[in-house]
Amino acid sequence: MSRAFVNEDDQREVPFVPPRADLPDGTPNYVTPTGMENLLKEKEMLLAELKELSIGDDHDKANIITIVNTQLQMLESRILSAQVISNESDSDKEVRFGSSIILQIGEDKKTQKFQIVGVDEADIKQGKIAFISPLARILIHKKAGESFTLKLASGERKFKVIAIE
């Protein structure tokens, strides 16, 4: 059929909404108190955005509303499944969920700081790693001064826990 006989309005594509961070089946959705605050703020922002939009004949607005509603549904699911874990006062004795850790990587004298957080909070640029990441999993229960090796696809990398905050 020629494109000349196709109604342009019938060619609406279903908008793509990127999924939230992956959380493997059966894995609890741990979040820090700050992470939960951020999820709730995100919900407020999405609700405010929905309020501002009005459904009319505008195709673009309808797509935006669909996207925002889908994001809101995924976020609601994440919030409902969230288990807030606060960092205990004695957490500087060993690495736990929510801990900030200063690591020496390899033989380099430079250190790098990481915090173990929930999957929705993870942002490597900010030094926040998800508790399900290989590095976070191997860090749990380590103490300051301990060294360990993480096996990677490209080989092995040695780490030393310098401090726990």
Please report, for the chain, the start and end positions of each structural domain, with discontinuous segments joined by +.
26-84, 100-164
Instruction: Kindly calculate the radius of gyration of the chain based on its CA atoms and give it in whole angstroms.
Output: 22
| Reported pTM | 0.81
What is the C-alpha separation between 11 and 75, in angstroms, rounded? 29
For position 30, what pLDDT does the model report? 96
**How many Cα atoms within 13 Å fall on the side-chain side of residue 143?**
2
Q: Find out whether 30 and 85 touch, Cβ atoms under 8 Å.
A: yes
User: Mind listing the pLDDT tens digit for each residue in 104-127?
Assistant: 998 888 999 999 999 999 999 999
CATH number of 100-164: 3.10.50.30
CA atoms within 13 A on the CB side of 30: 15
- What's the pLDDT score for residue 100? 95
Mean pLDDT value across the chain: 86
